[in-house]
Amino acid sequence: IWKKHGVKKFEDADEFQSKFIQHVETTLARSLYNCDDLAAYQATSQSVRDNLVIDWNKSQQRQTARDSKRVYYLSLEFLMGRALDNALINSQDGTEEPGVQKRERIKGAIDQLGFKLEDVLEQEPDAALGNGGLGRLAACFIDSMATGDYPAWGYGLRYQYGIFAQKIIEGYQVETPDYWLNFTNPWEIERSEIQVPINFYGYVDRSGSESGDSTLSASKWIGGERVIAVPYDMPIPGFKTENVNNLRMWSARPTTEFDFAKFNSGDYKNSVEQQQRAESITAVLYPNDNFQEGKELRLKQQYFWCAASLHDIVRRFKKSKHSWEEFPNQVAIQLNDTHPTLAIVELQRILVDLEHLDWHKAWDIVTKTFAYTNHTVMQEALEKWPVGLFGHLLPRHLEIIYDINWFFLKFVESKFPRDVDLLSKVSIIEEASQERQIRMAFLAIVGSHKVNGVAELHSELIKTTIFQDFVKIYGPSKFTNVTNGITPRRWLKQANPKLAKLIGDTINDPQDDFLLNMSKLTELAKYAEDADFQTKWNDVKQFNKLRLADLIEKLYEGEDVINRDHIRNTLFDIQVKRIHEYKRQQMNIFGCIYRYLSIKKLLSEGVPINEVEKKYPRRVSIFGGKSAPGYYMAKLIIKLINSVSDVVNHDEEINNILKVVFIPDYNVSKAETIIPASDLSEHISTAGTEASGTSNMKFVMNGGLIIGTVDGANVEITREVGEDNIFLFGNLAENVDELRYQHQYHPKPLPEELEQVLQVVESGTFDGDFKPLVDSIRHHGDYYLVSDDFKSYVQTQSLVDDVYHKNKKEWLKKSILSVANVGFFSSDRCIQEYADEIWNVEPLNN
Ligand code: 26Y
């Protein structure tokens, strides 16, 4: 009977339409007469989701039946953006008649129903459950794991509020809550039949243990507060495969347990309030990027999520009836930074306290299971938890950490006898500060079998700086590099359909195989100097620049910021990313000010504007990005950009040859419009501070050139695209320490270019008080070395002008060659490296 009534996927436009109408009339309980764009989005999504769920069920059954090793990617952030267009693109399966892709047929079907696909797609709110690079990396990875047919799940938290929405009021950032679940989310499947109890606080009861007071053998943790974890699943479709993976996100709920003590004391109201507090655990994403705060609720989030995920993983493992020794052959767990490090401790607790395994046997299983990815070398971003706070919330876990540390230090001592200095340097417990702190990165290293950085330079840096002692202890083979990547489905096909089409047409690949096999792009190289092809290439860029001009006009409420008449010879210079001193948006805006002053100077000397334009050709400098709400200096940088924008954009004398634009509320869906429009993008961090960067890869994949420092993945981008095709400048990482020392002990006058700029900023030309920003350079050691790199930055910008405006053919050639050689940065390559080098898993073919 089950077979006879089996559900079927819609296959063509006609079947899609009947699904759509069915969802409008039943799921949404509306009629076609009151179906607006939002309802059309909901009905389309429900219909597409039905298809996904059918494949999802098959994939999960297959993964279970094959009993193969599974990968679990633990990340506190998944910056997914929108799901619908991605699902439509990924539904393309290669069986279509040539030239008519599935997405195009759905588009036609929606058209017939009286809607426009573009408008329908715009209805979807971004799933903005992440801050920046780390969260977006997790999103690209699950796309590639699904596409590569890996049996892999993501585990995260279902925050009710994602990263705040940014408003700009009088030039300042103002944060407003992102209640993204306002309308029901068609992409999630609530699994309320699964309820995992999670405990906090309480005490450890060792009265029942055989060895009396030993913490090493099974101990009983009596929790003092209990909440329930309920999973919400999001299907993750692969491209050109029927494989659909799962992203499981936990939500906190109160228990239905009855608190007799409170009830008896007549404290009904309080017992309800305590229950309500449960929900606060998954209420909001912490908006800090690369900066740790040590808040108890954050630790609570981390444990809630690790405990729920491990419970789930262990339950699934137990169903397979393998022995515990088999666990690392069946399960690989990747830790996205130290945020999920508690999972290491929780697995050890499960094995020792609940499953009664011997400590060492358990620890062997744990370390073979976990691997840790580091994303930063900056001290302020490394997680540490005060022992007091930690032990109060998780008393048993603190004991286990002490025991892990004890055995670790014993091992170190046996290898390096009497090196007391070394012991205190590598101890998981830091004793130096007033209060003892748990160093989560050290715990993650000790509990993992592999540690990786995210770009070559960064992976070398962690070995020689923050983790050098661990290289000495474990040897270099525990440390490896996996250079980051991005998914070409979203960042090429979805964001830039015109470029994807031109590429497909040119290399004779109508079914977009290049999106799976990016080495095919190298065929573009032979057209790099072809005049005809260059024209088409340039036309795509112009189209995308107009699309961005429309977005900016909308955000500036009709103000015509970008002059469309000159768009063809206006260079779009873009820096979009989180605002951070180390990313040096301040250097970029100082560069804009310098350019503005230079233009004004020529004009004041009586040089006619058309002559000035020859020296300073048309440029729009575009900024976007959020600052952490409590990051004073970053917020001041945002204000300066907006104040400069105000002055420059309204100065009629300069005749629009320079514009400065701040795009509010930068997010994934805006990135999809912004990135394809860039001629030039800025990746100008102080050398040695940006672990990798991933937007650099996105810009290159869309035919933009880079101005950048020798930092993060810029190094490998240079290797891949060739040093003629990137504008590098500035000091090298190896010189940073020395330069900082010089600033402290032998300060020199600032370079005249920067001196000029700072004086104008100090003079009050731009609205706001920027003293702290200026002082950080003049008087506080210029930690990010703006003064050391400013001159070469300005010079390199003028080189950019020359190539773009005097040798457009050369520029286009660079652009085409860059795309031809960008294939290495596909996250498919990256996931294959993780699978081969770290997880030891194979794709599951149908
Ligand atoms: C401790 C906590 C508050 C915290 C929260 C978020 C710490 C760090 C972060 C986020 C870090 C992050 O996004 N790092 C970025 O990861 C990208 C992916 O590997 C890199 O490309 C990028 O260089 C790095 O800054």
Q: 139: which 2 tokens?
A: 């999103």
DSSP summary character for residue 380: G
Domain co-membership, 116 together with 93 = yes
264 C-alpha to ligand 1 centroid (Å): 48
Ligand 1: residue of 290, 292, 335 to mutate (most ligand atoms within 8 A of CB) is 290
Domain co-membership, 52 together with 188 = no
Three-state DSSP state, 418: coil
Residue of 698, 805, 813, 814 with catalytic role: 698
Ligand 1: residue of 73, 134, 695 to mutate (most ligand atoms within 8 A of CB) is 134
Catalytic residue check, 578: yes
Euclidean distance between CA atoms 369 and 333, whole angstroms: 6
Q: How many domains does the chain have?
A: 3
Q: Is residue 211 assigned to a domain?
A: yes
223 C-alpha to ligand 1 centroid (Å): 32
Which residue's entry shows tokens 């095919």? 520
Q: Is the pLDDT of residue 257 over 80?
A: no
- pLDDT (tens digit per residue) in 490-516: 999 999 999 999 999 999 999 999 999
134 C-alpha to ligand 1 centroid (Å): 5
Question: 258: which residues sit within 8 A by CB, 6+ positions away?
Answer: none
Give the residue whose CA is nearest to atom 22 of ligand 1.
693
State the average pLDDT over residues 314-335: 98
CB contact at 8 A, 289 and 628: yes
What is the pLDDT at residue 353? 97
Atom of ligand 1 nearest to the CA of 373: 19
Atom of ligand 1 nearest to the CA of 712: 23
Catalytic residue check, 698: yes
Residues with C-beta less than 6 Å from any ligand 1 atom:
131-134, 137, 288-292, 375-376, 381, 383, 454, 484, 690-694, 712
What is the pLDDT at residue 553? 96
Q: 749: which 2 tokens?
A: 């006058």
What is the pLDDT at residue 98? 62
Domain co-membership, 20 together with 154 = no
Atom of ligand 1 nearest to the CA of 691: 23
The candidate with the shortest Cα–Cα distance to 835, out of 248, 237, 70, 309, is 70
- Stated pTM of the model: 0.98
State the average pLDDT over residues 350-370: 98
Which residue's entry shows tokens 């794709």? 843
Residue of 23, 248, 541, 583 with catalytic role: 583
Buried b (16+ CB within 10 A) or exposed e, 782-811: bebbbbbbbbebbebbeebbebbbeeeeeb
> Would the CA dihedral through 681, 686, 687, 688 be positive or negative?
negative
> Would the CA dihedral through 66, 69, 72, 73 be positive or negative?
negative
Domain co-membership, 93 together with 167 = no
State the average pLDDT over residues 71-82: 98
Q: Is residue 648 assigned to a domain?
A: yes
605 C-alpha to ligand 1 centroid (Å): 48
State the average pLDDT over residues 398-419: 98
582 C-alpha to ligand 1 centroid (Å): 13
Beta-sheet pairing, 437-439 with 619-624: unpaired
Phi (first) and psi of residue 231, to 5 degrees? -85, 145
Q: Is residue 242 assigned to a domain?
A: yes
Q: How many other C-beta atoms are found inside a 10 Å radius of the C-beta of residue 460?
A: 14
77 C-alpha to ligand 1 centroid (Å): 10
375 C-alpha to ligand 1 centroid (Å): 6
Which residue's entry shows tokens 């457009």? 808
Residue of 578, 580, 639, 683 with catalytic role: 578
- Please give the sequence-ordered ranges of beta strands (E in DSSP) within 87-186, or none if there are none: 127-129, 152-157, 165-169, 172-176
The candidate with the shortest Cα–Cα distance to 74, out of 238, 250, 277, 232, is 250
Least confident of 13-22, 215-224, 448-457: 215-224
Euclidean distance between CA atoms 55 and 62, whole angstroms: 10
Buried b (16+ CB within 10 A) or exposed e, 344-355: bbbbbbbbbbee
367 band by pLDDT with thresholds 50, 70 and 90: very high
**Residue ending a domain, choose from 75, 102, 123:** 123
Question: What's at 542, amino acid-wise?
Answer: Q
> Would the CA dihedral through 458, 462, 463, 465 be positive or negative?
positive
821 C-alpha to ligand 1 centroid (Å): 26
What is the pLDDT at residue 40? 98
The H-or-E segment that residue 609 falls in is: helix 609-615
Catalytic residue check, 465: no
What is the pLDDT at residue 594? 98
Domain co-membership, 53 together with 172 = no
Phi (first) and psi of residue 504, to 5 degrees? -55, -45
Q: Is residue 359 assigned to a domain?
A: yes
Q: Is residue 845 assigned to a domain?
A: no
Q: Is the pLDDT of residue 213 over 80?
A: no
- pLDDT (tens digit per residue) in 580-612: 999 999 999 999 999 999 999 999 999 999 999
What is the pLDDT at residue 210? 59
Phi (first) and psi of residue 458, to 5 degrees? -65, -40
Domain co-membership, 442 together with 534 = no
The candidate with the shortest Cα–Cα distance to 391, out of 450, 349, 438, is 438
Phi (first) and psi of residue 16, to 5 degrees? -60, -45
97 band by pLDDT with thresholds 50, 70 and 90: low
Q: Is the pLDDT of residue 680 over 90?
A: yes
Atom of ligand 1 nearest to the CA of 293: 3
State the average pLDDT over residues 563-573: 96
The candidate with the shortest Cα–Cα distance to 308, out of 72, 657, 653, 61, is 72
For 383, half-sphere exposure in the C-beta direction (CA atoms, 13 angstrom radius) is: 24
State the average pLDDT over residues 706-715: 98
Euclidean distance between CA atoms 121 and 128, whole angstroms: 16
Domain co-membership, 352 together with 420 = yes
Euclidean distance between CA atoms 349 and 363, whole angstroms: 10
The candidate with the shortest Cα–Cα distance to 396, out of 356, 454, 358, 353, is 353
Catalytic residue check, 577: yes
Percent of the chain predicted with pLDDT > 90: 93
What is the pLDDT at residue 536? 98
What is the pLDDT at residue 628? 98
Domain co-membership, 204 together with 339 = yes
Three-state DSSP state, 117: helix
Radius of gyration of the chain (CA): 28
Residue of 483, 694, 709, 796 with catalytic role: 694
Which residue's entry shows tokens 């899609």? 16
For 834, half-sphere exposure in the C-beta direction (CA atoms, 13 angstrom radius) is: 33
Atom of ligand 1 nearest to the CA of 137: 18
Ligand 1: residue of 285, 376, 580, 695 to mutate (most ligand atoms within 8 A of CB) is 376
Boundaries of domain holding 19: 1-66+84-123
Domain co-membership, 78 together with 34 = no
Long-range contacts of 696-700 (CB under 8 A, 24+ apart): 697/484, 697/485, 697/486, 697/491, 697/822, 697/825, 698/486, 698/491, 698/495, 698/671, 699/574, 699/675, 700/818, 700/819, 700/822, 700/825
Atom of ligand 1 nearest to the CA of 135: 13
User: Between 558 and 294, whose confidence is greater?
Assistant: 294
Catalytic residue check, 69: no
Domain co-membership, 222 together with 108 = no
667 C-alpha to ligand 1 centroid (Å): 16
Alpha carbon separation from 326 to 60, 361, 366, 444 (Å, rounded): 21, 12, 11, 22
240 C-alpha to ligand 1 centroid (Å): 31
Question: What is the crossing angle of helices 13-22 and 37-66, to 10°?
Answer: 110
Question: 407: which residues sit within 8 A by CB, 6+ positions away?
Answer: 363
Give the residue whose CA is nearest to atom 8 of ligand 1.
290
Percent of the chain predicted with pLDDT > 70: 98
Domain co-membership, 363 together with 311 = yes
Q: At 607, which CATH number? A: 3.40.50.2000
The candidate with the shortest Cα–Cα distance to 757, out of 588, 522, 527, 593, is 593
The candidate with the shortest Cα–Cα distance to 311, out of 135, 72, 59, 129, is 72
Buried b (16+ CB within 10 A) or exposed e, 481-507: bbbbbbbbbbbbbbbbeebbebbbebb
Ligand 1: residue of 375, 491, 689 to mutate (most ligand atoms within 8 A of CB) is 375
Euclidean distance between CA atoms 124 and 672, whole angstroms: 14
Question: What is the crossing angle of helices 359-369 and 395-415, to 10°?
Answer: 90
Atom of ligand 1 nearest to the CA of 291: 3
Q: Is the pLDDT of residue 211 over 60?
A: no
Q: Is the pLDDT of residue 263 over 70?
A: no
Domain co-membership, 477 together with 586 = no
Distance of CA 360 to the CA centre of its chain: 36
State the average pLDDT over residues 441-454: 99
CB contact at 8 A, 672 and 495: yes
Least confident of 158-172, 264-278, 756-770: 264-278
Residue of 69, 577, 584, 813 with catalytic role: 577
Q: Is the pLDDT of residue 408 over 90?
A: yes
The candidate with the shortest Cα–Cα distance to 79, out of 196, 182, 163, 15, is 163
Using CA atoms of 821, 827, 831, 837 in order, give the dihedral in degrees to the nearest 10. Answer: 40
Catalytic residue check, 95: no
